[in-house]
Homo-oligomer: A and B are copies of this chain.
Amino acid sequence: MTDGVNWLTAEEQHAWRSFVRLHERLIGRLSHLLQTESQLASADYAVLVNLTDVPDGRQRYQDLARALEWEKSRMSHHLARMIRRGLVVREECADDGRGAFAVITEAGREAIAAAAPLHVQAVRSLFLDHLTAAELRTLAEVSVRVVGKLDEGA
Contact A137 B8 (CB under 8 A): no
The A interface is mostly helix, strand or loop, or mixed, namely helix
**A97 interface contact, C-beta 8 A:** no
CA distance A145 to B25 in the complex (A): 12
Contact A128 B16 (CB under 8 A): yes
Residues of B within 8 A of A18 (CB): 139-140, 143-144, 147
Interface residues of A, count at CB 8 A: 51
Given contacts A136-B12, A142-B139, contact A23 B23 (CB under 8 A): yes
Residues of B within 8 A of A69 (CB): 21, 24
Given contacts A6-B120, A8-B123, A120-B7, contact A146 B16 (CB under 8 A): no
Residues of A near any B CB (own CB < 8 A): 3-8, 11-12, 14-16, 18-27, 29, 69, 116-117, 120-121, 123-128, 130-131, 135-147, 149-150, 154
